[in-house]
Amino acid sequence: MAAAKTTGKSATKTTAKSAKAKTTRRRKAPKRTLVVVESPAKAKTIEKYLGRKYMVRASMGHLRDLPKSQFGIDVENDFAPKYINIRGKGDLIKALKKDAKQADKIYLASDPDREGEAIAWHLAYILGIDPADDCRIVFNEITKPAIQEAVKHPRSINLDQVDAQQARRMLDRIVGYKLSPLLWRKVRKGLSAGRVQSVTVKLICDREKEIQAFESVEYWTVGLKLRKDHSAMFPAELVQIDGEKTDLHTKQDTEAVLADFGRQQLVVSGVKKTERRRKPSAPFTTSSLQQDAARKLGFTSRRTMMYAQQLYEGIELGHGGAAGLITYMRTDSTRISGLAQDEARAFIGENYGDSYVPEKPNIYAAGKKAQDAHEAIRPTSVERTPASVEKYLTKEQFKLYYLIWQRFVASQMTPAVYDTVSVDIAAGPRYTVRAKGSTLKFPGFTAVYAGADATKKEKDVVLPEMAAGDVLTVAKTLPEQHFTEPPPRYNDASLVKTLEEREIGRPSTYAPIIETIQARGYVQRIDKHFQPTELGFVVVDMLQQYFKDIVDVKFTANLENELDEIADGKVKKNNLLSEFYTPFEEEVEKADEAIGHVELPVEVSDVQCELCGRMMVVKQGRYGKFLACPGFPECRNTKPLLKDTGVKCPKCGGSIVERRTRRGRTFYGCKNYPDCDYTTWDTPLKDTCPKCGSFMLKHHFKNGRTLLYCSNDACETRIDNPINEELEKIRKRMEARKAAAEKKAAEAAAEKTEKKAKK
């Protein structure tokens, strides 16, 4: 018994010691620091830089927001917002809370802008952190030095920036939840109105009205090809008649002038030689990046920001691991850090020569309304050339990175220098002719980047040596008829530029604005230009009549400026909301009483509904126009609206019609699909080939160039012809895209199957 007791005591002691040892080990185990970012890609890159003492998790953007099913703002209680956890984020919130309990410190590292500040504020609420604590870290680029430096300097959450974001969110909620039901009752169910989007639609509608009201005027110009003695021909232009600017409006006037002009002797009256210096453009801001990517790459604003986000968050670079390639892409500043400037200057001197490095670093002035919170968009390291990272990037990522890298390097280089000459030539007492020449003396920054306003480098125009008194001869006269043109429709680049100039929205909102107005069916993109729909006109006209402030450009711009003042702590959020809400609520009540039901014009098609016999009508949906039976809801028949090209299918003789992919891209296919599978990306034309009589196809390149070719593969125009090389390139590109899409689909299917198997 004694032995048994002793054994029991010994066992108890051993167990106690073991438990104590485990407790000691648990206490000694260092706790880790939790860093919460917005995206998984960014989390992966940052965790590599910070090491084992840190665990980096992604919040996947916002975790709390105003409820979708109700207004969510208590107007009577100082505009108190009612925030709820976003549906579907419950498991993520639980996981973050669990990680937070195991962490010694928590750093909130959402994006360095107002939206990011608001996300950090919501995270602080969820994780039980005091916003006044040093819990917020920010960085402009995802590089090891920037991340490690950010962790050393945490700060409290900027509540003024949070208020500015909340004010914007609540203003949009007030407009959306008060106006949308009005549109449902008066126009059509499913419509919605937005504060900034409505102004943008109005701009596009106003431009369309200008185009419709425009009356074209004929005018003529007179170009000339001149010679001095036996020199090569050089271009010139008739610029003045009787001391006034040339103003010719008819062919008869032009022929009369040319008849008189032909009798005159041309004598050089003056030669002016100058040196022109063309300075490089500033590094990219969000707006200028979207504009240049639209002009040079054909990217929409949404695509530009999507690829820029990927480059910012981090790309796997082989053995080097993931790295952020560019600085933060939502900025209105042209400022560059001294360290980045020094690195760029050293790179330029080493790779291009000292003559390409300016004496002092180039500094660019920001716009008047620029917040200047972040640097301009630039590569995180200029040494990471596009060629060195190309194999790790997708084609689109590479194009955008190349554009950003070029623009940044060029911005730190010397100006391009041109020798220019302007020659005035008198043709008798009445006429003045001018010839201009320009030759590149020193390429400067153009050795890297042509510039924001040029798609190609300037070509030299060489004039022969001339002096006052030299007699010239006319080799050719080139009269040309022109017609004045209406202002062009907005495209992505020009719309973003206009929004920035008019101070509508902010850089981070341009892409969502453009996407939203298309999704709502107010605007459609046709041939890369925006055109308002009939619905867009109706809604804008109604808002213009009853809610002038909502579609007033100045009012919207002033509201944006007041949001900036909230972020700067100069204006209180609730004061702004109160000043806006009271008169707006009164306008809604008056409009509800005054507006009757608005009938949208109905476009009747020539297609008969096979279910009930009625003639189908054209409707506008989220994804474009379609055919619907007017007998709805008794008859719910719908069909895609097929635009006939007037060209017959070479396979079955049916009509070739215009179709759209799920992503909205236009292609052409046989109307008899699926019985006939003929498709082409290129536009079928009614014009026929002069050799074989087959219809012609037009291929559109991204730079605006077009290529006409015969649709018949066996046609002699397609054999031993340089066109074939281009067509072969097109074919290979299409096959590569198809193979890549099939590979991606197969990988996704395999991954889905694997996940199911694991479950």
Give the residue numbers annotated as catalytic, written as ranges. 328
Q: Is the distance from CB of 601 to CB of 537 less than 8 angstroms?
A: no
Give the position of tokens 């992966």. Answer: 44
The string of DSSP codes covering 560-607 is: HHHHHHHHTTSS-HHHHHHHHHHHHHHHHHHHHHH--PPPPP-EEEEE
The string of DSSP codes covering 668-733 is: EEETTTTT---EESSEEEEEE-TTT-PEEEEEE-TTS-EEEEES-TTSGGGSS-HHHHHHHHHHHH
What amino acid occupies position 141? E
DSSP state of 240: E
**Contact residues for 364 (Cβ-Cβ < 8 A; gap 6+):** 282, 283, 334, 335, 376, 411
> In 3-state terms, the chain is what percent helix, strand and coil (to 5)?
40, 25, 35
Q: Are strands 103-108 and 32-37 parallel, antiparallel or unpaired?
A: parallel
Whether the CA torsion 296, 39, 332, 316 is positive or negative: it is negative
Three-state SS for 503?
coil
- CB half-sphere exposure, 688, CA atoms < 13 A: 9
Angle at which helices 510-519 and 195-213 cross, to 10°: 70
Q: Is the distance from CB of 514 to CB of 301 less than 8 angstroms?
A: yes
- What is the spatial distance between Cα 503 and Cα 560, in angstroms, rounded to a whole number? 7
**Contact residues for 411 (Cβ-Cβ < 8 A; gap 6+):** 280, 281, 282, 283, 336, 362, 364, 445
Three-state secondary structure of 377-413 = ECECCCCCCHHHHHHHCCHHHHHHHHHHHHHHHHHCC
Q: Is the distance from CB of 147 to CB of 49 less than 8 angstroms?
A: yes
- What is the spatial distance between Cα 400 and Cα 395, in angstroms, rounded to a whole number? 9
Whether the CA torsion 442, 445, 450, 452 is positive or negative: it is negative
What amino acid occupies position 591? A
